[in-house]
Structure 1
C-alpha cells in the first residue's frame, strides 16, 4: 500500500481530452488522491456529460468540446486549449498550488504548456498516451500532414530531453522512439489495465448474462477506420449467414463521415444494436451482456504499437476476445489468451466469430485464460509503478531506473 505518500504535495494534470472520456486519467487521478496528493485537473468539456466531480480533486474545465474532423480544426482546438492551460497554470504556480505537472499526449505540442512551470522548479511528467507521428500518419493526408510530421519529430526530441519522467502505456511506444534514435532514460511502463474491481462479475457479485440461444458480439470503441469498423460489419454480414442467431452491439461514437454513413444503413437491422457513446462506468453493463468481444483494429502505424484498453476490460470480465494480430498486442498476449486474426481481413474475422459462436466451451476457456493474464497485468501493479515513479521524481533520485511491467 502507498496511501499517504503524497504528504499534501500538489500535482497538476493536463489531459488531452475530457475527463469522462479518459479512463486512464480517471484511474491515475484516483490513485493520486488515495496516496494523499493534492490534485488538480485541466480537461476539455464534454457536451454529452456533466462536468466531472470527485472528492479531493479540483477540476478546471475548458468550455469547448473537442470535434474530431480536419487537421486544421484539430490544431485550432488544441492551440486555444494550450493557451488557456498555460495562463491558468502560471497563475496557480504563483500561488504554489502544485509541485509536479503531468501532461497527457498527443498532441506533442501540448507539452509546451510545461515549459514556464519547469523554469520555476516544477517537475514535469509526460504521459504519452498516443504517439502523434503515428496518429497523424494514420488519420490525416495531404501536404500539411508532411509538415506536421516533421514538426512533431522535433517536438519529440524536446520532450525526451526536458521530461523528468516519461510514462508509456506499453513497451512498443519506447521502441518506436528508439527507432527514431531517441533514447529515453527515465521512464516507466503503466499499462492501460482495467481496474478488475470494476469489471470482474465474480468479484462484484454481478449476475452473468442470462443464457439465451443467441450469441452476442460486442464492439466497444471509437468508430473509425483504424478501429476496423467496416471490416467488422462485413465480417458480421458473412458470419450471420452461417450463424443466424448472431447479434452485434456497437458501443461508441462515429467520428468519421464514412462511419456515420455505414451506421445509418444499419438502423433497421434487428440483429444490430447501435448504442452510441456511454459513460465509462456503464461500459461494464454491455460487457457483462456480451458473449464475445471483438477488437478488429486495422493495420496502421499507430495500431501497430498500441495495446487496446478494451482487452483488459473484456479480460477482467472473463469474456473471450477476437483481436487483430498486431505487434503491440502480441508483446503482452499469446494465442492461448486471445483469438487472433489478420487485420483488415473480413473473411478471417467472420471465421473466428463463427468458430467461437459455435463453441461455448472454447469461449469459456479463452475468457478464463485472458482473465488470468489480465490479473498478472492488473491495475494494482500498474498503480504501484506509477506512484513509485512519481515519488522518485519528487525526490529527484539520480539513480532512478526504468520500471517495466511484463
Structure 2
C-alpha cells in the first residue's frame, strides 16, 4: 500500500472535465500512477491511456432529463463504478481513491478499498441540495432537498477527507462535516494550457463577446443574447460567440431568430480544452452573467480565471467567491440578472480602450495569485494525508 498509486472516480467524460484532468496531471507530475474510472461518451474507447493516465470508461452516457433520469444515472453509475473500482483495486492496491461528486454517494464505490486501508477522498465541488433547489425551484424544506442534505452528510462522513473548490464552499460544507476535515484545492488554470501565445493579436475593431462552458439557464447566457439585442445599434460590430453545449441552446437559437440576430450569434458546441486559449485570445470580452439562485451564489467559474490570465476583459454577475477574489476595478461586475447593468458594463468596456487595458492587467495580477503549483501542492498533501494542510 506504500506505492504511489491513485484511482480517480468521476461521473463525467474525463477528457472534457477540467478539474479531474488537472488533479490527474498534478498526481502524475509528482510521480503517482493514476487510474481513472469515468463515463463513456459516444465514440470513446472503453480503455485508453492519455498523458500517462489510464482511463477506464463505463457504459454510462449522460443524458438530460427530469429528476427520475438523474436518479437512474447516479445510481446505475455508482453500482458500475463499485464493481470496477473493486476490481482495479484488487489488482493494483491503490493507496488513495479520489472520488468527485456529483453524486456524493459515488464515494461508496470505494467501499472495498476503504475496508482494505486505502485513503478515500470525496471532492464536493457542487452542493447537490442547492443544485436541485435552483434547477427545480424547490424550497429548503422540500423533502428532496432535505434528503440530499442527508446524502451530503452521510457521504462526507464516509470519506477520510473532504475536498472542495474554494473557501466560501468550504464554509458551506461545515453544515455536514467538521471544518478540520475539509480541504480546499482551487481550480487554478494550468499554465501549460493557458499561456498567452506570443503571436496572438486581437483585432482592435472586433467586438465579439465570448461565453464558454455549459449553456444552462443558471449561467444567464440568455442575458448576453438580450444585451446583444439591446446594444446592436449602439455598438454595430457587437457579436456573441457561444462555445459549449447545454439545455438552453435550443431556446437561445429561437431567441436569436426572433430578434433577427442569426448573423451576430454563433454556436460552436463543445471544443477540446486545448482549443480554448486561442478562442479566448480572439475575443473582445468574456461574459459570465450568472443568475441569482441558491447554487450560483457559491459559483466560482474557472473560466473567469482563465480569461483573466489570457488578458480577456470579463463582464460578470456578482457571486460571493468572485467578490472575494476580484475588485470592481478588475472585473466589470453587475448584479445577477440585471440586464440594464450588464449593458452599462459592456458600454463601459467599449468606451475607453486605455482604461480597458489597465483593467485587464489588474485582473491578470489578481488571477495570478491563484497558483497552479500551489494548488497542486495542496492536493498532494491532502491525498497523502499530511496533517499540515
1:239 pairs, out of 225, 231, 245, with: 231
For residue 94 of structure 1, the aligned residue among 90, 99, 104 is 90
Aligned pair partner of 2:194 in 195, 199, 202: 199
Query: Are the aligned partners of 1:238 and 1:347 in contact in 2 as well (CA < 8 Å)?
Result: no
Distance 1:388 1:243, change over 3 A: same
Match of 2:126 among 115, 127, 130: 130
Structural mapping, 1:337-348, within 5 Å? 337-348=330-341
1:222 alignment partner in structure 2: 214
- Report the counterpart of residue 254 of structure 1 in structure 2: 246
Number of the residue aligned with 2:165: 169
| Native 8 Å contact 2:225 2:240 kept in 1 | no
- Which secondary structure state, in structure 1, belongs to the residue aligned with residue 247 of structure 2? coil
Change (3 A) 1:67 1:288: same
Is the aligned partner of 1:187 residue 2:182?
Answer: yes
Three-state SS of the structure 1 residue aligned to 2:325 is coil
TM-score by length of 1: 0.89
Could you tell me how far 1:275 is from its partner in structure 2? 1.0
Structure 1 position 330 matched with structure 2 position 320: no
Matched, 1:28 2:5: no
Tell me: higher relative CO, structure 1 or 2? Use CA pairs within 8 A at least 6 residues apart. Answer: 1
Asked whether 1:147 is paired with 2:143, we answer yes
What is the aligned residue count? 385
Task: Tell me if structure 2 keeps the 8 A contact 1:319–1:364.
Answer: no
The residue number in structure 1 matching 2:112 is 116
Distance 2:176 2:27 in 1: 33
Which whole-Å CA distance do the structure 2 matches of 1:197 and 1:181 have between them?
A: 36
Give the drift of 1:140. 2.5
Q: Tell whether the 8 Å contact from 1:7 to 1:37 is kept in structure 2 after alignment.
A: no
The alpha-carbon deviation at position 135 of structure 1 amounts to: 1.0
| 2:164–2:183 Cα contact (<8 Å) kept | yes
* Rounded Cα–Cα distance in structure 1 between residues aligned with 2:312 and 2:263: 24
Contact 1:8–1:36 (CA under 8 A) maintained in structure 2:
no
Q: 2:5, 2:96 within 8 Å by CA — same for their partners in 1?
A: yes
Gaps of 5+ in 2: none
> For 1:46 and 1:96, how far apart are their aligned partners in 2?
26
Quick one: distance in 2 between partners of 1:50 and 1:212?
A: 43
Asked whether the 8 Å contact 2:315–2:345 carries over to 1, the reply is yes
Structure 1 position 47, deviation (Å): 2.5
Cα RMSD (Å): 2.2
Match of 1:60 in 2: 56
Check if 1:372 corresponds to 2:365.
yes
CA 1:48–1:358 in 2, change beyond 3 Å: closer, same or farther?
farther
Structure 1 residues 365 and 246, CA gap change in structure 2 (3 angstroms): same
1:17 aligned residue (12, 21, 26): 12
The correspondence for 1:289, drawn from 282, 304, 316, is 282
Per the alignment, in what secondary structure is the counterpart of residue 53 of structure 1?
A: strand
Q: Which runs of 5+ in 1 are unaligned?
A: 1-5
SS at match of 1:331: helix
Say yes or no: does 1:103 pair with 2:96.
no
Helix, strand or coil at the partner of 2:298: coil
Give the CA deviation at 1:265: 4.4
